[in-house]
Amino acid sequence: MWKGRFQQSTAPLLSRYSESVSFDWRLYACDIHGSIAHSKALLAAGILDAAEQQAIESGLAQIGAEIESGAFAFDPALEDVHMNIEAELTRRIGPAGAKLHTARSRNDQVALDLRLYLRGETDAIIGLVKALQQSLAGLAGANLDVVIPGYTHLQRAQPVYLAHHLLAYVEMLERDAQRFSDLRKRIDVMPLGSGAIAGSTILLDRALIARELGFSAITQNSMDAVSDRDFACELLAAIAITGMHLSRLSEDLILWASTEFGFITISDAYTTGSSLMPQKKNPDVAELTRGKTGRLYGNLLSLLTTLKGLPLAYNRDMQEDKEPVFDSVDTIKAALEINAAMLAEIKVDAARAAEAVSDPMLLATDLADYLVRAGLPFRQAHEVIGRLVAHCLQTGRKFPELDLGAYQSFSPLFGPDIFDVLDVRRALDARQAQGAPSLPNVRAQLERWRPGAERHP
């Protein structure tokens, strides 16, 4: 494609080093879609006649079908998916194929392909996030009455409904979906027509191309259009954040599935065993999800680092954008899909959960609140209950095992109704503030996440 300038052929070593078709072939559908739209703009500009444009469109459709079926042989010597398709098109239809690249550079062509590809993949990711939300909500709804200890610092803190805990991840995923939806607007900008750096003296109707490809906006600076990949960085950042949320969920599931917790059982279909220890059942989906999150972080940092020192406009370094992008897209889609499937088959051990939540220490804050309602300032109430906790630990007695006299030895504000506070369900029912885990609130939140329900922040 540059033989007019060069006196020597490209060294085979360089061809192997620089080729990208081994991974960018997956842009073929976007490349063909973009080239058909470009041919229509060339037709409107008088560069192609109707017969030439139709030959290009038909030829590209045939090539696309062959790639889809696996019958097309990509040639690494042609470097990338763009030249492979164009060269084969020209071989098949002759001079009309050689006209296709008029007023176009691979710089704006690849920017277009990547935006088309990521626009579709972003939509797919949003759909998978929604599916995972429904799987979490389904598990929550199926175990609405199950209460577990809530943890801070991985220490038992206060009782919560399991459903409330699971719905926390639904909220996180909703923000993830919103991030993907918002960044999609910045992906959805059409760069074709920017040329290599400064557009072209052959004027094409860029609005026509944008309409053909369904873009909502057109780039306004040719140098920016071909030289930045901030839209890809933003997508990788959103993917990394989603991965972080999945990793935290995975850690909870790993703990809950352990013998020490025993709150859940993960289906055999989504666990593995040990090659040595016959009794083992390992939560590999959760562990792999937790591990793959590191790759998502690394891909984001890789692309940011690649871009950070590049002068305007296009530089070949930018070829290195695709592998981290493809890897992150594939990884997050797989993680979202398999976690949704795994969650749908998790079984909850309500008895083990009830045993864990029967720890009276979980209600220490409720005892402090009791004293506050009786008129004691919270800091003093906190100190009183702290001394009461220390007494129980020293004597080996639990809150329900103390009589009223023992309570009143710590504060005269304790009355006979103090024992009502020590009921877990009653304590949860008292948590009625918006966002708190009372049963009516949890029911309302499950209704909010019902498919088709209207949702507000």
Residues classed as catalytic: 153, 274
The radius of gyration of the chain's CA atoms, rounded to the nearest angstrom, is 30
Distance CA 209, CA 203 (A): 12
Q: Are strands 264-265 and 347-348 parallel, antiparallel or unpaired?
A: antiparallel
CB 9 within 8 A of CB 69: no
* Contact predicate 415/389, CB 8 Å: no
CA dist 271 and 280 (Å) reads: 10
- Structure tokens, 387: 């001394």
**Amino acid code (one letter) for 327:** D
For 13, counting Cβ atoms within 10 Å of its Cβ (0-12 exposed, 13-18 middle, 19+ buried), the class is exposed
Q: Which residue reads 């984001």 in tokens?
A: 300
- At 152, phi and psi to the nearest 5? -130, 140
Distance CA 91, CA 250 (A): 52
